[in-house]
């Protein structure tokens, strides 16, 4: 681990309790530019809370978060977003009353770009919609689009913000198989273009295929981190949190034929 | 080929729409400027009242329709505008135009001060807090006798004398000016970057913040704009009515009226609140004449029916009709292009 440059996103010892429950319990993670860090764990493991803390929506009880070496854990969500950290939502909240393209324009107008003209924002939004292959629905009312399209809309809006760091909270939940493939290719491409991506996802297979490193959360604590293959080989972790049968039947198969999707330089392992 | 023909057809349609809108706007402006020459004193008063309520509904639309914060207590700013004008004219001896502008600014400044704490509340809590604010300011106006004359009220000089038409005319034009300014501001909100921020806050404030919108500042600016125009309307109203006291200047019945008008017309649209004000005022007059004894009950019934039959307001109804018409018109032309 010879990191001479500060990671794009550095999370250190973050703690968050809700009443007696420790939702996030001393989690440390680092995501470098150009890599996908997959975060998995069962329901209630604290994945979404972690994303909420990084994006500034929820304030941590303890711990520090830095974006390119600059502390951001005391900033408000809009300040974090304007610096270049964009997020998507597990349950997408499209801005009702706005069309699909207007939803995406909001990202260009208020994200790091701070676009002053709505015309310029529209052009950027068109590009972002094309990237997620939703261009044909640009003028649709967002209450009339499907769940999968909502997910794409959410991602397009995050892209329109021109972020360095993308926090993707289950971007594939509710998305059909073919559309999933499109999004997976897009996410891999975004990482290659230099973005740091933190990917929280329930579809474990996808995380294993496209992540450079994987972190496993359980009861708010990080119990394993490393290249997907190493983590998958950690029998104890996998048996406890993904189920033995799942490993046997699902993971070991695609792990072989998904080699091209897995980046080779899986450094930063434990 | 087909695409080129289709897009030129659409461009043509857009040009027609824009020029139609321009012609319509000029015609409307001419009618509104000449209207006082054709109306009796009675109808001129009603029209001036429509202009005032349209302004209040439109100003409310900025904070409630676009931003999603139900500020029923906007009557506070109406009263502050009215009192500021009365005090500036009678005690400071200021000229009318300067006093009107300063009264609007006083309402805006007052909103800027109380806005930060109250805008931390959301939904019903915000609505109730604004109502409490309105009651608080009314009590303040009743008790700060050295400044406001307390419950005795303030008498203002009249601007014109002569026939009922001549007396009302200056107030008609002043209200018209305030309404036009308020509509221009709302139109700007509806197309600007700032407005996109407000509409995002209305849809989901937490998400809006995550997209980089400074929600606290945006909400505050929206409410301050709303208070400014509400204060201007209050100032012109005070001049028109020539006598104000705490009961009439901070009257919550005004809030009921302008919010019903904005809801009927369509929140979050520029034309909606104006149409709503016209509809309610004309309905009120018609019903008042036809059902003298029970006019309030009939008016209430009419409003309930309208809300039930068109929950999205007049503008939604018009948009739906227009969309249907466009579809019907577009079908044959599309077929033609295929040939």
Tens digits of per-residue pLDDT, A27-60?
A: 999 999 999 999 988 888 899 999 999 999 999 9
Confidence at A269, pLDDT banded by 50, 70, 90: very low
Nearest residue on chain A to B267, alpha-carbon basis? A97
Nearest CA-CA partner of A170 in A205, A201, A207: A201
Q: What is the pLDDT of residue A257?
A: 42
A125 in a domain, yes or no? yes
Nearest residue on chain B to A162, alpha-carbon basis? B211
| Contact residues, B window 204-223, toward A, CB-based 8 Å cutoff | 204, 206-215
Note the ipTM here.
Answer: 0.86
Task: Give Rg (Cα) of chain B.
Answer: 22
With CB atoms and an 8 Å threshold, state whether B211 touches A116: no
Domain limits for position B43: 38-250
**All residues at 6 or more sequence positions from B279 whose CB lies less than 8 Å from its CB, including other chains:** B261, B264, B265, B314
A269 in a domain, yes or no? no
* Helices and strands (H and E) in chain B: how many: 15, 2
With a cut of 80, say whether residue A25 has pLDDT above it: yes
Domains held by chain A: number? 2
With CB atoms and an 8 Å threshold, state whether A81 touches B191: no
B282 in a domain, yes or no? no
Q: What is the pLDDT of residue B287?
A: 82
Residue from A58, A77, A164 to probe the interface with B (highest B Cβ count within 10 Å): A77
Q: Within an 8 Å CB–CB cutoff, is residue A107 touching chain B?
A: yes
With a cut of 50, say whether residue A265 has pLDDT above it: no
Pairing of strands A36-40, A196-200: parallel
Nearest CA-CA partner of B85 in B63, B107, B70: B107
Same domain, A169 and A77: yes
User: How many whole angstroms separate alpha carbon B84 and alpha carbon B235?
Assistant: 7
Cβ-contact A197, A117 below 8 angstroms: no
Residues lower than pLDDT 70 in chain B: 1-14, 331-339
CA distances for B184 relative to A139, B108, B232, B264, B334, angstroms = 26, 18, 15, 21, 37
Q: Which has more pLDDT, A90 or A65?
A: A65
With CB atoms and an 8 Å threshold, state whether B199 touches A111: no
Instruction: Identify the CATH number of the domain in which residue A180 sits.
Output: 3.40.50.300
CA distances for B296 relative to B46, B138, B288, B299, angstroms = 17, 26, 8, 5
Same domain, A63 and A42: yes
User: How many whole angstroms separate alpha carbon A140 and alpha carbon A129?
Assistant: 12
With CB atoms and an 8 Å threshold, state whether B203 touches A109: no
Nearest residue on chain B to A96, alpha-carbon basis? B203
Q: What is the pLDDT of residue A244?
A: 56
Same domain, A169 and A257: yes
Q: Residue B316: how many CB atoms within 10 A of its CB?
A: 17
Q: What is the pLDDT of residue B111?
A: 97
Q: What is the pLDDT of residue B114?
A: 95
Token pair for A86: 């964009």
Same domain, A256 and A170: yes
A205 in a domain, yes or no? yes
B271 in a domain, yes or no? no
Q: Residue B338: how many CB atoms within 10 A of its CB?
A: 6
Q: What is the pLDDT of residue A173?
A: 86
Burial class (CB in 10 A: 0-12, 13-18, 19+), A264: exposed
Question: How confident is the model over A70-125, as pLDDT tens digits?
Answer: 999 999 999 999 999 999 998 887 888 899 999 999 999 999 999 999 999 999 99
Give the closest-approach CA distance of B283 to chain A in angstroms. 29
Nearest residue on chain A to B312, alpha-carbon basis? A97
DSSP state of B171: H
Q: Within an 8 Å CB–CB cutoff, is residue A111 touching chain B?
A: yes
Q: What is the pLDDT of residue A127?
A: 96
- Tell me how far the alpha carbon of residue B271 is from its chain's centroid: 10
Give the closest-approach CA distance of B66 to chain A in angstroms. 10
With CB atoms and an 8 Å threshold, state whether A95 touches B200: yes
Chain B hits for A128, CB-CB cut-off 8 Å, are none
Residue from A106, A118, A169 to probe the interface with B (highest B Cβ count within 10 Å): A106
Question: How confident is the model over B6-25, as pLDDT tens digits?
Answer: 666 666 666 777 788 888 88
Domains held by chain B: number? 1
Domain limits for position A118: 95-151
With CB atoms and an 8 Å threshold, state whether A161 touches B215: no
With a cut of 90, say whether residue A17 has pLDDT above it: yes
With a cut of 50, say whether residue A260 has pLDDT above it: no
B11 in a domain, yes or no? no
What does chain A come to in residues?
270
With CB atoms and an 8 Å threshold, state whether A111 touches B211: yes
Confidence at A259, pLDDT banded by 50, 70, 90: very low
The residue-averaged pLDDT of A164-182 equals: 91
Question: How confident is the model over A190-233, as pLDDT tens digits?
Answer: 999 999 999 998 777 888 889 999 999 988 999 889 998 888 77
Same domain, A214 and A244: yes
Residue from B10, B211, B320, B323 to probe the interface with A (highest A Cβ count within 10 Å): B211
Q: What is the pLDDT of residue B12?
A: 67
Same domain, A216 and A244: yes
B323 in a domain, yes or no? no
With CB atoms and an 8 Å threshold, state whether B209 touches A87: no
A256 in a domain, yes or no? yes
Same domain, A204 and A253: yes
Reported in sequence order, the residue ranges of B164-242 that DSSP labels E, i.e. its strands, are none
Q: Within an 8 Å CB–CB cutoff, is residue A90 touching chain B?
A: no
Residue from B68, B210, B323 to probe the interface with A (highest A Cβ count within 10 Å): B210
User: How many whole angstroms separate alpha carbon B211 and alpha carbon A78?
Assistant: 6
Reported in sequence order, the residue ranges of chain A that DSSP labels E, i.e. its strands, are 9-18, 21-31, 36-40, 62-67, 70-71, 85-87, 165-169, 196-200, 213-218, 221-226
Same domain, A79 and A213: yes
B317 in a domain, yes or no? no
Q: What is the pLDDT of residue A238?
A: 65
A119 in a domain, yes or no? yes
Nearest CA-CA partner of A134 in A147, A149, A122, A123: A149
Q: Within an 8 Å CB–CB cutoff, is residue A82 touching chain B?
A: yes
Q: What is the pLDDT of residue B299?
A: 76
Q: Residue B69: how many CB atoms within 10 A of its CB?
A: 26
Question: How confident is the model over A174-185, as pLDDT tens digits?
Answer: 888 888 999 999
With a cut of 80, say whether residue A266 has pLDDT above it: no
Cβ-contact B42, B164 below 8 angstroms: yes
Q: Residue A201: how many CB atoms within 10 A of its CB?
A: 22
B54 in a domain, yes or no? yes
Nearest CA-CA partner of A237 in A262, A195, A258, A208: A208
Q: What is the pLDDT of residue A6?
A: 85
Which single residue is written with the structure tokens 């700032």? B194
Q: Within an 8 Å CB–CB cutoff, is residue A102 touching chain B?
A: yes
Closest CB to B215 among A78, A86, A161: A78
Confidence at A252, pLDDT banded by 50, 70, 90: low
Q: Within an 8 Å CB–CB cutoff, is residue B61 touching chain A?
A: no
Work out the angle between the directed axes of helices A118-131 and A100-110 (0-180°, nearest 10).
110
Give the closest-approach CA distance of A118 to chain B in angstroms. 6
Q: What is the pLDDT of residue B332?
A: 54
A53 in a domain, yes or no? yes
Same domain, A216 and A143: no
Same domain, A110 and A23: no
With CB atoms and an 8 Å threshold, state whether A78 touches B209: yes
């Amino acid at each position: 681990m010879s990191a001479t440059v500060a990671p794009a996103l550095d999370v250190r010892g973050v703690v968050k309790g809700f009443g007696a429950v420790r939702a996030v319990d001393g989690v440390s993670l680092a995501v470098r530019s150009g890599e996908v860090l997959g975060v998995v764990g069962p329901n209630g493991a604290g994945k979404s809370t972690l994303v909420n803390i990084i994006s500034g929506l929820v304030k941590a009880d303890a711990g520090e978060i830095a974006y390119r070496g600059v502390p951001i854990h005391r900033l408000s969500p809009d300040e974090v977003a304007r610096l270049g950290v964009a997020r998507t939502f597990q349950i997408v909240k499209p801005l009702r009353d706005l069309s699909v393209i207007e939803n995406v324009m909001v990202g260009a107008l208020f994200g790091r770009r701070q676009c002053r003209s709505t015309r310029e924002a529209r052009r950027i939004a068109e590009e972002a919609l094309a990237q997620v292959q939703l261009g044909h629905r640009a003028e649709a009312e967002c209450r009339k689009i499907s769940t999968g399209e909502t997910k794409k809309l959410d991602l397009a809006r995050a892209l329109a913000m021109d972020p360095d760091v993308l926090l993707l909270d289950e971007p594939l939940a509710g998305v059909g198989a073919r559309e999933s493939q499109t999004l997976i290719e897009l996410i891999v491409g975004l990482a290659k273009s230099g973005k740091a991506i933190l990917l929280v996802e329930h579809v474990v297979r996808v995380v294993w295929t496209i992540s450079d490193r994987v972190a496993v959360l359980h009861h708010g604590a990080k119990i394993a981190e490393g290249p997907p293959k190493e983590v998958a080989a950690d029998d104890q972790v996998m048996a406890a949190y993904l189920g033995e049968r799942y490993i046997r039947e699902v993971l070991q198969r695609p792990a072989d034929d998904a080699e091209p999707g897995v980046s080779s330089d899986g450094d930063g392992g434990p | 080929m087909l695409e080129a023909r289709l897009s030129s057809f659409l461009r043509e349609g857009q040009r027609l729409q824009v020029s139609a809108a321009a012609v319509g706007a000029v015609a409307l402006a001419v009618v509104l400027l000449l209207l006082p020459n054709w109306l009796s004193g009675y109808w001129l008063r009603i029209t001036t009242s429509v202009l005032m309520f349209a302004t209040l509904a439109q100003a409310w639309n900025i904070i409630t329709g676009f931003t999603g914060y139900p500020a029923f207590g906007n009557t506070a700013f109406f009263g502050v505008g009215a009192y500021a004008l009365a005090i500036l004219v009678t005690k400071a001896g200021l000229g009318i135009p300067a006093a009107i502008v300063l009264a609007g600014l006083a309402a805006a400044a007052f909103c800027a001060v109380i806005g930060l704490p109250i805008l931390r509340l959301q939904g019903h809590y915000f609505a109730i807090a604004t109502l409490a604010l309105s009651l608080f300011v009314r009590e303040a106006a009743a008790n700060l006798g050295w400044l406001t004359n307390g419950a005795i009220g303030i008498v203002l000089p009249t601007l014109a004398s002569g026939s009922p038409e001549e007396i009302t005319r200056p107030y008609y034009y002043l209200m018209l000016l305030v309404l036009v300014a308020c509509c221009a501001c709302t139109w700007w909100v509806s197309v600007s970057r700032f407005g996109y921020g407000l509409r995002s806050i209305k849809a989901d404030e937490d998400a809006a913040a995550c997209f980089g919108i400074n929600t606290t500042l945006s909400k505050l600016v929206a409410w301050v704009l709303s208070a400014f125009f509400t204060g201007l309307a209050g100032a012109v109203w005070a001049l028109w009515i020539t006598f104000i006291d705490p009961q009439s200047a901070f009257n919550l019945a005004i809030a009921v009226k302008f919010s019903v008008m904005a809801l009927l017309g369509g929140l979050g649209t520029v034309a909606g609140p104006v149409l709503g004000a016209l509809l309610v005022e004309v309905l009120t007059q018609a019903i008042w004449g036809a059902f003298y004894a029970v006019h309030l009950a009939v008016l209430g019934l009419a409003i309930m029916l309208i809300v039930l039959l068109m929950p999205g307001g007049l503008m939604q109804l018009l948009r739906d009709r227009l969309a249907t018409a466009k579809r019907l018109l577009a079908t044959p032309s599309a077929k033609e292009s295929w040939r």
